[in-house]
Chain A
Amino acid sequence: MSAAPPDNDVLWARGIVKSHHGTPALRGVSLAVREGEVLAVTGPRGSGKSTLLGCLSAQLTVDEGEVWFHSSPVHTLTRAGREKLRRERFGWVGSEPHLVPELTARENAALPLLLAGAGRRAAHTAAVEWLERLDVADVAGLRPAELTQAQRQRIAVARALAPLPPVVFADDPGAPLHREEREQVLRILASAARSHGLTLLLATHDPEPAGQADRTLTLVDGRIAGTATAPAAGSTAVTAAR
């Protein structure tokens, strides 16, 4: 096994290979994500974006290769270890809201904090705070079935951000939304990441969010086809200075 990756990388992966029932999804992806970075992963459908995020966020196990989180290996963790990592260190927004239907919006947003062992009051305060920031505080007492898809997706974003996890994964979070809504949700995610120093990994198949990102990776057929650094000098300079 190689030496541990550099300390200033939050996530570090080398040569990830992953296939779904014989269909290759990732064919050797290596990348390093710096702390506080907003990294966009783009590419056409089926290019392996979701699989990459799944492997990095400890939802999927890699077939080959290594994944490290803050100098500790993820690829060797047991199932319980990966659950703990997801519960305490990672936030997740999917392309579908995937809320628990019988819980209210507030309870859904507070759920990760409750699962991580936070007190009920603290969890609900944090949840309501994020629901307010996402403009859905007025429906906090309603169940997902009574809400619009856009509201549900905002609640899913609040659920991911409320525990302020070091890393937030967003797998095409704008998929169920209209263009305007999509841009707003992406902006909220990016600005929340910047203001709280969170690392954000954003998978998307349209090139728009590149504007929000510090760096953009392009995946094609399970391989990295290119990397682009954002022209907006401010954030890039900050990352480079680290």
Chain B
Amino acid sequence: MFPLRLVRGYRATDLGRWLLTAIAAATTAAFLLRSLGRALGEPAATSVPRLLWCLPALAAVGWLAAAAARAVPAQHPERIAGLAAAGYGPGRIRLLIAVETALAAALGSVLALLLFLVLRNDIAGPELAADLGMGTRLPAAAPVTLLVLVPLVAGLAAAAAIPLDEALPGTPAAPPAVGFHPVRIAVPTGLTVVGMALELYGLRPGAEQDGRPVELPAHLGSVGTAALTGWAFTALGLALLTAPLLALAGRLLALHRPGPVRLLAGRSLTAEARRLATPLAVLTLGLAVLTAALAYGDDPDVPVTVAVLLLVGCAVGAVAARALEIHAARREITATLVRLGTEQRTLTAAAAARAGAAAAVLLFTGGLTALFAAACLV
């Protein structure tokens, strides 16, 4: 197969992308198979929430596949140029990367299915019997349908993530947009403020009589409607504010007579704020929820732990993919700076300053999100 033959030219980063996608797909497939196994022996009503639990896992796989696929054209410009010279249009290049991602996901799913079938073969002890649906006949179409879902989601996400104009070489990169539309700042700020107010209202001293009608999953207890809605607004607003805040941090870094280090670090952070913000915001939100849940929830059971690990792993993988993408896209700028005689020390210091400023922003948004989540759960 053509996508597989192209793999021969791959380096460690690409194999890492494959491996991460395959592992995430295998974990998601295991979730799907577990809910299938349970459904074989239980009434239909109880299996729906279990299937719903698979949705975040599927979304995480799609997110990882999208972020990883988006980084491919920037990382392999010579390959894209070669394919384009051989007559591959943007659509087919997109298809190629999507098929490659789907293959990695299919590999993981098949491994999970094999493990499921082996375990069903009376190897697993009685504690896993219910999860595997042991003792009941397995309808052949069910595991196949479930497993096709994971590669399909990964492949579609990958295909949708690659912008057409960036897929072809020679097309000049769009100028980094500077500044944000006022609406882009006003809406998240409004969301955050309204969310905070709503949550504080929900947590006011006399709020006990309102009751706590919303039962949270994973033994996190119950919360009031106003507090939960307020927290959701706050978290969404802060996540959307990440990009403008990163750009602002870049501006602050280059403020007041900057030397080369602060100038390069600050301006590049402002320029890359949009590209950096999305995966970082997702990771920060995930970590904030996790921190609050760990601090105030009961001990989670094994499937919940695995799900959380999968979500965080995919979010970390997406951040790494985006970082590699930006690094690859800025290769030429770095080459220019090196040609001008920029010391390695200056470049390293600029990268460190940029990372420090970004970390400060994420600590702020993540800290606020975690704080308000914790306030809900107390």
Chain A residues in the interface with B (C-beta under 8 A)? 59, 79-80, 83-88, 90, 92, 94, 98-103, 107, 111-112, 114-116, 120, 143, 145-146, 159
Q: Which residue of A lies closest to B173 (CB)?
A: A101
Q: Closest CB of chain A to B243's CB: distance in Å?
A: 15
Residue in B closest to A100 when the chains form the complex, CB atoms: B333
Q: How far is the CB of A57 from chain B (nearest CB, A)?
A: 9
Mark each residue of chain B from 330 to 342: 1 if its CB lies under 8 Å from any CB of chain A, else 0.
Answer: 0011011111111
Question: For chains A and B in complex, what number of residue pairs have CB atoms within 8 angstroms?
Answer: 71
State A83–B339 Cα separation when bound (angstroms).
8
What sequence of 0s and 1s flags, for each residue 342-360 of chain B, a beta carbon within 8 Å of any chain A beta carbon?
A: 1110100000000000000
CB distance from A221 to the nearest CB of B (A): 26
Query: Roughly how many angstroms separate A90 CA and B336 CA in the complex, as a whole number?
Result: 14
13 pairs, CB–CB < 8 Å, chain A vs chain B: A80-B344, A83-B342, A88-B341, A94-B339, A98-B332, A102-B267, A102-B271, A114-B260, A115-B340, A116-B341, A120-B259, A143-B175, A145-B176
Q: How many residues of B contact A (CB 8 A)?
A: 26
B257 interface residue per 8 A CB criterion: yes
Interface presence of B268 (CB below 8 A): yes
Q: In the assembly, what is the distance between CA of A146 and CA of B177, in Å?
A: 11
B263 close to chain A: CB less than 8 A: yes
B342 contacts A87, C-beta separation under 8 Å: yes
Would you call A102 and B270 a contact (CB within 8 A)? yes
Say yes or no: A103 contacts B267, CB within 8 Å. yes
B5 to chain A, nearest CB (A): 23
Within the complex, the shortest CB–CB distance from B248 to chain A, in Å, comes to: 15
The residue on A at minimum CB distance from B257 is: A120
Residue in chain B with minimal CB distance to A89? B341
- Chain A, Cβ-Cβ closest to B250: A102
Give the chain A neighbours of B270 by CB distance below 8 A.
102
User: By CB atoms of chain A within 10 A, which of B257, B259, B332 has the most?
Assistant: B259
Does B6 interact with chain A (Cβ within 8 Å)? no
| Inter-chain contact A59/B339, CB cutoff 8 Å | yes
Cα–Cα, bound, A80→B342 (Å): 9
Cβ-defined contact, A112 with B340, below 8 A: yes
CB contacts (< 8 Å) of A103 on chain B: these are 263, 267
- The reply to whether A112 and B341 contact each other, CB–CB distance below 8 Å, is yes
Residues of B within 8 A of A (CB): 175-176, 178, 257-260, 263-264, 267-268, 270-271, 332-333, 335-344, 346
Task: Provide the main secondary structure of the chain B interface.
Answer: helix
Q: How distant is B159 from chain A, measured CB to nearest CB, in Å?
A: 29
- B336:A100 contact, CB within 8 angstroms: yes
User: What CA separation (Å) do A90 and B339 show in the bound complex?
Assistant: 10
Which 4 pairs, one residue from A and one from B, show the smallest C-beta to C-beta distance?
Answer: A87-B341, A145-B175, A86-B341, A102-B271
Bound-state CA distance A80–B346 (Å) is 12
Q: From residue A119, how far is it (CB to closest CB) to chain B in Å?
A: 9
Q: B340 contacts which of A111, A120, A145 (Cβ < 8 Å)?
A: A111
Q: How far is the CB of B77 from chain A (nearest CB, A)?
A: 15
Bound together, the chains give a CA A94 to CA B332 distance in angstroms of 13
Nearest-CB residue, chain A, relative to B175: A145
Given the complex of chains A and B, what is the CA–CA distance between A88 and B342 in angstroms?
10
CB atoms of A85 and B175 under 8 A apart = no
Least CB distance, A99 to chain B, in whole angstroms: 8
Q: How far does the alpha carbon of A146 sit from the alpha carbon of B178 in the complex, in Å?
A: 11
Q: Could you say which of A85, A94, A114 contacts B263, with CB atoms under 8 Å apart?
A: A114
Instruction: Evaluate whether A111 and B260 lie within 8 angstroms (CB atoms) in the complex, with A88-B341, A101-B175, A101-B333 already known.
Output: yes
Distance in angstroms between the alpha carbons of A179 and B341 in the assembled complex: 31
B176 & A102 in contact (Cβ 8 Å cutoff): yes
Residues of A near B264 (CB, < 8 A) are 100
Whether B341 pairs with A115 at a CB distance below 8 angstroms is yes
Beyond A100-B333, A102-B176, whether A86 also contacts B263 by CB under 8 A is no
Give the CA-CA distance A120 to B261 in the complex, in Å. 12
Contact status B338-A83, CB under 8 Å: yes
B-chain residues with CB within 8 Å of residue A111 when the two chains form the complex: 260, 263, 340
Contact partner, B259, options A92, A99, A114, A143, Cβ 8 Å: A114
- Kindly provide the distance from the CB of A167 to the nearest chain B CB, expressed in whole angstroms: 13
A41 to chain B, nearest CB (A): 18
- How near does chain A come to B4, taking the closest CB pair, in angstroms? 27
Given A98-B332, A101-B333, A114-B263, do A86 and B339 touch, yes or no (CB 8 Å)? yes
A84–B260 CB distance below 8 A: no
How distant is the Cα of A143 from the Cα of B179 in the complex, in angstroms?
13
Query: What chain A residues lie within 8 Å of B271 (beta carbons)?
Result: 101-102
Q: Of the candidates A85, A94, A120, A146, which one forms a contact with B341 in the assembled complex, judged by CB atoms under 8 Å apart?
A: A85
| Closest A residue, CB atoms, query B346 | A115
Q: With a CB–CB cut-off of 8 A, which chain B residues contact A99?
A: 336
Docked complex Cα distance between A118 and B302 (Å): 60
A53 to chain B, nearest CB (A): 11
Q: Which residues of A contact B258 (CB under 8 A)?
A: 120
Of chain B, the residue at the smallest CB distance from A79 is: B344
